[in-house]
Amino acid sequence: MEIEELFKFADSVGKSAVAALNVTPMVVLRHSDCMDDGSPVVQIWVDDGVCGFAWVNIKPATSKFAKWMILKGLARRDEYYGGVTYWINDYNQSMQKKETYAHAFANALAGAGIKCYADSRMD
């Protein structure tokens, strides 16, 4: 499979995984009047769940796929972890959606023999 085709395939797998996802909403408690601690506490539901980040790390940075990602502006060299990092920028701040996409994307690449892993962190 050509590099661009592989990227498009992994991207479609990631997007399909997110489309099938049932996000767990986040409940935020706050005072109805943010300037008055004595005001009633209200619940606000955040449908996209908790906020966070997710990415896929691809190694080595010298692989054809990693070089192509850098050339296309899709990834950057990762001096700390090595390889290149593809940040998941879609899905607003939804950590669950970003994680789901990243894991599905990484699994699709791994199935094609690309050494990579998905990771995330809460904001």
pLDDT (0 to 100) of residue 98: 98
Q: Which of 53, 48, 93, 86 is nearest to 70 (CA)?
A: 86
pLDDT (0 to 100) of residue 9: 98
- Distance from CA of residue 61 to its chain's centroid? 20
**Strands 76-77 and 84-87, bridge-based pairing:** antiparallel
Question: Is the full-model pTM beyond 0.95?
Answer: no
pLDDT (0 to 100) of residue 44: 86
**4: number of CA atoms within 13 Å, CB side?**
3
Q: What is the pLDDT along the chain (123 residues), one digit of tens a residue?
A: 799 999 999 999 999 999 999 998 988 888 988 899 999 999 888 888 999 999 999 999 999 999 999 999 999 999 998 999 999 999 999 999 999 999 999 999 999 999 999 999 998
